[in-house]
Structure 1
Amino acid sequence: ILHVDMPEGLKMAGSRLLPTVLSLGFKYSDEGFFNRHLEPSGNGPVLFRLVNMYNPGTFDIDNMEQFRTAGISLFMTLPCEGDNLAAFNML
């Protein structure tokens, strides 16, 4: 698990987070997380996930303009599909 925590008193804006994670190949899931799949197209097994570090842990894709959080977490379970080291470096 890799935590990205904002400095005290600051929040990460969903309006900036969304285009960033999409440009990095993450795909929004039905569960409310962003998944990075083996294939950049969003196909294949999930390599790792990006979640909101704070409850409820999910993102509301329809309200990202209003969304703010003090942190996000990326998590990966090893071994994973494909090249473990390449997936870890991508994380």
Structure 2
Amino acid sequence: MIHSNTQKHIEVVPGVVNVSRYAVNQVGGTALGGAMDNGLNPTTTLGCGTWGNNIISENLWYTHVMNVSRISYRVPDIYIPTDKKIWAG
């Protein structure tokens, strides 16, 4: 998680710190678990990846043997449905 408006600062951190998800100007607890307004796949079992000797929590794919850092930004003006609309039958 970083709170900055300086692109140089934003882009240098994932090259120095081994992270699997890295969010910019967002709420850490909810954004890194995946959110409708940032495009990260939802997860409730986010581990520290192969850097921390964790096992994956989804179907095995070739991307799981690659260490990848993802930088996410909030998507401006995205439609987020209400709970009522999400749970409507």
TM-score under structure 2 length normalisation = 0.30
- More strand as a share of residues: 1
> Which structure shows the bigger proportion of residues in helix conformation?
2
TM-score calculated relative to the size of structure 1:
0.29
Higher CA-based Rg: 2
